[in-house]
Amino acid sequence: MNTPLLNEINTVCWRGNSDGHLEILDQTQLPTQITHVVCKDVPTVVEAIQSLRVRGAPAIGIAGAYGMVLAIHQAIHLEESSEKKIAYIQQRAEDLATSRPTAVNLRWAIQRIESLILNAGKNPDFLELSKAVLDEAKCIQKEDQRLCEKIGEYGASILPDGDILTHCNTGALATGGIGTALGVIVTAWEQGRRFHVFADETRPLLQGARLTAWELTQRKIPVTVLADAAAAHLLKTGLIGCCIVGADRITANGDTANKIGTYGLALLAKAHNIPFFVAAPSTTFDLTLQTGDEIPIEERDENEILQPFGFQSTPATARGFNPAFDVTPADLITAIITERGIIKNVTIDTVAAVISN
C-alpha cells in the first residue's frame, strides 16, 4: 500500500475534548500497513504499551498521560463516592505506570498527572479535573517536541564526519517530536550535512529494520539495514564516524539502559575507537538510582525469540532468553546529549552538573 508521509502521521494523538479518546499508530504493523488503535479505556492503553503498538520511552510516557484522562472519564460514570473514584483512578495510574518497567518516562508522566489529582482535594469536580489532566497531557507532548528539537541542535553540533550507525528506533515514532538519536541525525541532515545511516535490524522485533529504516526513507535520508551481528565487521571497515543511540533510563552516574544489543554495540565502538553517543531528554534520567545495576530489566515473552513474527525458528523443546534491554556503563559513552546540554566524560558529577541545573 502507499504509506503516508511521516509528517502526516501522529504516533500518539488525542481526539476530541476530555470525553474523547486516544488514537495510537500501531507500530507492530509498520512498515507495510498504517493502522491505528482507538483507546477508550485504560486496559486498551496498557495493552498497546505492553504489546509495543506504541513504544519508545517518551512516546509511552505521553500515551500514559492521556490514559489518565480516560481513567478519570471512567471514574466519572462510577456510582461511587469521591473517595472510591479517586482510589479507582489511582489504581488505573498504577496499571499504566507498571505496564513497562524499564523506561522511566512512563512513571514520570503518570506521577506528574497524579500530582494534579492530589492537588484537586478529596472531593474534586471530576469533569473539571479531566479537562485539567487533558491539558497537562497535551503539555507533556508539546514539551517533548521542544526537547527533541534542542537535543537535535546540540547533537548536530558534535556529530563527527562520516557515516552513522544506530540501533533500535529513536525517531518520531518513539517520541513527541523528531526524535532523540534520530532527531540528531535529522537535524544534521537538514543543516546540509551528508552521510549514510546504517541501522541495526534490532532483534528480535526488528525496530531498526521496520521503523528506523522507514522513518529515514520517509525523510529521504539514505539508509542501509544490517544484521545486528554484522556491526563489528562494519565498524572495522572505517566507514562509521560515530554510533548514536537513545535511552530508556539513565542513572545518576550515567549508566544507560537501552534496547537489548546496545551494550554490545558500545563495546564494539570502544574497541574500534569510534565515538559512542547517547541522546535522551532530561526526563529519561532517574537520579534516584546510582548505577545501572539498580535498573529493572524487562523480560519479554520467549516466543518473540522462538517464534519471531509467528515463524517457528527453533525446535519445540528449546527455551528462549529475551531481555528487552541491557545497560551500557557510563565509561563506554563518549557523551550524553540532552536538551539541557552535552554531558562529556560521563560521571556522577558531570551528569549532575547538566541535569540538576
CA distance 268 to 332: 10
Catalytic residue among 163, 248, 255, 326: 248
- The C-alpha cell at 7 is 509528517
Which residues sit opposite 225 in a β-bridge?
199
φ and ψ at 14, to 5 degrees? -90, 135
- The C-alpha cell at 144 is 517533548
Residue with grid cell 529521504, as numbered in its chain = 220
Q: How many CB atoms lie within 10 A of CB 24?
A: 24
Nearest to 59 by CA among 7, 24, 28: 24
Which residues sit opposite 328 in a β-bridge?
256
CA distance 275 to 286: 24
Asked if 248 is an active-site residue, the reply is: yes
Nearest to 279 by CA among 189, 168, 201, 196: 168
> With contact defined as beta carbons under 8 Å apart, do 65 and 110 qualify?
yes
Question: Prior bond to 275 cis, omega within 30?
Answer: no
Catalytic residues: 248
